């Protein structure tokens, strides 16, 4: 038996090889590895890990089943709480949630909860084990807007309770950020994402793509004309921010949203798809979040030399440690404490370089992070032909501006109570549409809470 203090390592594609392909980086545990890692779990009476999980998965419960080798039961245990375990096992920031609270982690390595969850979910998919649909329908209709993590979770939970749920998706494919945002090499689309969505459909949820709420129809019309008794808005935060510096409209400057959508949703990396993408020879990605890492590693795989340009230091990078680590391994160059001031544009309208200044860290700002201050006289030009702006996103006002009585705050986020209830009767909201850009699991948590609130609301009607 291995050292119980040390987690079982997980196989990954070699950085040199994976830098040239879009296959998944992390290869996941084998059954033997997963069961061995599971034996490290202390099955605490008062499991701290559950408190760290935004959807409160019975973590010791599923790990005990895994210890017994009953992977099917382990899957049913997880799927009571989560509609998207194969996704969460891959993209949740476990190191700051469940694994951060793991008692094992005090003296040694925390249990690799995320990798175990992923193993169980992948096993279920490969063995065609599906979550169980509700026996009876209750005849009440709920509309869910957006098929991202919040919407899928809310829809799945409501369907399990017997509701007739329809998801409306603006794009041509379901999944929201799971489909357009997170790259193939972190979250395979045809296997993992497609099958999780299929599982939600298997619960009886209908998904209507190509419907833009606010344009194709409105929430008021869904409730008044199409007979929906309640609505959940999980429309995310899809609007990209730009810096507002000179040259930003040059050819070769993209939002991370555009770049990633072309590559992930529209599969520009695959020659058999019609979508064009400008790969770039030397690419600067401005920003330091997970989306910036995704864009950088996508550009790298399309053949570019890639720089992450971030105005604060390494410690302040908002991206997950694992993503930064992977990016570095693959050869992404980090230009930290650097801020762009202008994009240089040639006669033909294309990017010829990016003027930057060096920064140093001053006093902490309202976010608690030390705020960057410009170093006088530190101007220099970064030699790049493509710039990808990854500065965060904000919610799309299409829905809030077309729905009577739906309040938003100054950041265009929908105002909602903790249970998801908005200022409009029968309308609930959750995920990035309420919080601004956050994580997949927080959105799922909000979807889950709102599903309960919607159930209570409709029971009381």
Partner 1 sequence: MYKIVKKEQLTDSIFLMDVEAPRVAKKCYPGQFIIVKTDEKGERIPLTICDYNREAGTVTIVAQMIGASTMQMGRLEVGEGFQDFVGPLGCPSELIHEDPEVLKKMNILFVAGGVGTAPVYPQVKWMKEHGYDVDVIIGARNKGLIILEDAMKEYAANVYIATDDGSYGFKGNVNDKIKDLVNNEGKKYDLVVAIGPVIMMKFVSLLTKELGIRTIVSMNPIMVDGTGMCGACRLTVGGEVKFACVDGPEFDGHLVDFDESMKRQQLYKTEEGRAILREKEGATHKNGGCGCGGDK
Judged by CB under 8 A, does residue 258 bind partner 1?
A: yes
**Per CB under 8 A, which of residues 156..195 are in contact with partner 1?**
170-172, 180
- Would you say 408 and 397 are in contact if contact means Cβ atoms under 8 Å apart? yes
Judged by CB under 8 A, does residue 212 bind partner 1?
A: yes
Judged by CB under 8 A, does residue 298 bind partner 1?
A: no
Judged by CB under 8 A, the residue of 20, 275, 409, 459 near partner 1 is: 275
For residue 368, the 8-state DSSP code is: S
In the complex with partner 1, the residue whose CB is nearer, 43 or 215, is 215
- The three-class DSSP label of residue 193 is helix
Q: Using CB under 8 A, which of the segments 186-194, 203-211, 290-298, 426-434 binds partner 1?
A: 203-211
- Would you say 295 and 265 are in contact if contact means Cβ atoms under 8 Å apart? no
- The three-class DSSP label of residue 458 is helix
In the complex with partner 1, the residue whose CB is nearer, 215 or 375, is 215
Least distance (Å) from partner 1 to the CB of residue 189?
A: 12
Least distance (Å) from partner 1 to the CB of residue 243?
A: 11
- Would you say 292 and 390 are in contact if contact means Cβ atoms under 8 Å apart? yes
Judged by CB under 8 A, does residue 273 bind partner 1?
A: yes
Cα separations in angstroms, 7 against 4, 67, 338: 7, 15, 36
Judged by CB under 8 A, does residue 36 bind partner 1?
A: no
Residue for token pair 């194709």: 216
Judged by CB under 8 A, does residue 220 bind partner 1?
A: no
Q: Using CB under 8 A, which of the segments 12-20, 243-251, 367-375, 446-454 binds partner 1?
A: 243-251
Least distance (Å) from partner 1 to the CB of residue 297?
A: 19
What's the angle, vertex CA 312, arms to CA 310 and CA 316, rounded to 5? 105
Judged by CB under 8 A, does residue 127 bind partner 1?
A: no
CA distance 216 to 144: 15
Least distance (Å) from partner 1 to the CB of residue 257?
A: 5
For residues 442, 443, 449 and 453, what is the CA-based torsion angle, rounded to 10 degrees?
A: 150
**Start-to-end CA span in the chain (Å):** 57
In the complex with partner 1, the residue whose CB is nearer, 171 or 308, is 171
CA distance 55 to 68: 24
Judged by CB under 8 A, does residue 271 bind partner 1?
A: yes
- The three-class DSSP label of residue 308 is strand
CA distance 369 to 183: 28
What's 49-96 look like in SS3? Answer: HHHCCCCCCCHHHHHHHHHCCCHHHHHHHHHCCCCCHHHHHHHCCHHH
- Would you say 86 and 80 are in contact if contact means Cβ atoms under 8 Å apart? no
Least distance (Å) from partner 1 to the CB of residue 420?
A: 23
In the complex with partner 1, the residue whose CB is nearer, 54 or 431, is 431
Tokens of 117: 């969850």
Tokens of 124: 């279920």
Judged by CB under 8 A, does residue 396 bind partner 1?
A: yes
CA distance 80 to 59: 11
Residues 302-341: x/- map of binding to partner 1 (CB under 8 A)?
Answer: ----------------------------------------
In the complex with partner 1, the residue whose CB is nearer, 67 or 255, is 255
Measured in degrees and rounded to the nearest 5, phi and psi for residue 352 equal -115, -10
Least distance (Å) from partner 1 to the CB of residue 231?
A: 17
The helix or strand, by DSSP H or E, that contains position 141, with its residue range, turns out to be strand 141-145
In the complex with partner 1, the residue whose CB is nearer, 239 or 374, is 239
The count of residues interacting with partner 1 (CB under 8 A) is: 40
Least distance (Å) from partner 1 to the CB of residue 275?
A: 6
Beta strands in 277-418 (DSSP E): 282-286, 305-309, 333-335, 338-345, 351-364, 370-374, 380-382, 386-389, 393-394
**Per CB under 8 A, which of residues 337..366 are in contact with partner 1?**
348-349
Judged by CB under 8 A, the residue of 60, 183, 234, 238 near partner 1 is: 238
Least distance (Å) from partner 1 to the CB of residue 461?
A: 28
Judged by CB under 8 A, does residue 441 bind partner 1?
A: no
**Per CB under 8 A, which of residues 55..114 are in contact with partner 1?**
none
Q: Using CB under 8 A, which of the segments 41-49, 75-83, 274-282, 352-360 binds partner 1?
A: 274-282
Report the interface residues with partner 1, using CB under 8 A: 170-172, 180, 209-212, 215-217, 238-240, 242, 244, 248-249, 251-252, 254-255, 257-258, 261-262, 266-268, 271-276, 278, 348-349, 396, 398
């Amino acid at each position: 038996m291995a050292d119980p203090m040390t987690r079982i390592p997980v196989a990954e594609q070699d950085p040199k090889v994976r830098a040239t392909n879009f296959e998944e980086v992390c290869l996941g545990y084998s059954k033997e590895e997963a069961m061995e890692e599971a034996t490290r779990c202390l099955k605490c009476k008062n499991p701290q890990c559950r408190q760290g999980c935004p959807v409160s998965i019975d973590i010791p419960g599923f790990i005990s089943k895994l210890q017994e080798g009953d992977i099917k039961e382990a899957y049913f245990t997880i799927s009571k709480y989560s509609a998207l375990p194969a996704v969460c096992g891959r993209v949740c920031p476990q190191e700051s949630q469940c694994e951060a609270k793991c008692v094992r982690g005090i003296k040694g390595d925390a249990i690799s909860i995320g990798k175990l969850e992923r193993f169980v979910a992948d096993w279920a998919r490969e063995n065609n084990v599906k979550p169980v649909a509700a026996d009876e329908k209750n005849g009440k209709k709920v509309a869910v807007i957006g098929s991202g993590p919040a919407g899928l979770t809310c829809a799945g939970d409501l369907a399990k309770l017997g509701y007739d749920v329809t998801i409306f998706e603006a794009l041509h494919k379901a999944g929201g950020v799971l489909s357009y945002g997170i790259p193939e090499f972190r979250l395979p689309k045809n296997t993992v994402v497609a099958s999780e969505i299929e599982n939600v459909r298997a619960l009886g949820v209908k998904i209507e793509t190509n419907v833009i709420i606010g344009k194709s129809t409105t929430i008021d019309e869904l409730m008044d004309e199409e007979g929906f008794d309640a609505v959940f808005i999980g429309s995310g935060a899809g609007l990209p921010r730009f810096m507002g510096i000179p040259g930003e409209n040059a050819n070769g400057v993209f939002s991370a949203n555009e770049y990633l959508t072309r590559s992930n949703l529209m599969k520009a990396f695959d020659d058999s798809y019609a979508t064009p993408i400008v790969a770039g020879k030397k690419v600067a990605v401005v920003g330091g979040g997970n989306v910036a890492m995704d864009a950088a590693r996508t550009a790298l795989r399309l053949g570019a030399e890639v720089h992450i340009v971030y105005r604060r230091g390494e410690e302040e990078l908002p991206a997950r440690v694992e993503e930064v680590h992977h990016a570095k391994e693959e050869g992404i160059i980090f230009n930290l404490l650097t801020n762009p001031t202008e994009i240089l544009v040639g006669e033909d309208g294309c990017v010829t370089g990016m003027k930057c200044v060096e920064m140093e860290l001053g006093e902490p700002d309202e976010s608690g992070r030390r705020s960057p201050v410009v170093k006088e006289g530190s101007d220099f030009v970064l030699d790049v032909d493509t710039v990808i702006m990854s500065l965060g996103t904000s919610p799309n006002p299409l829905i809030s501006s077309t729905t009577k009585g739906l309040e938003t705050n100054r950041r265009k986020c929908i105002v909602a109570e903790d249970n998801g209830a908005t200022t409009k009767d029968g309308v609930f909201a959750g995920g990035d549409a309420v919080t601004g850009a956050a994580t997949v699991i927080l959105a799922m948590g909000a979807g889950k809470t709102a599903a309960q609130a919607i159930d209570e609301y409709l029971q009381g009607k």
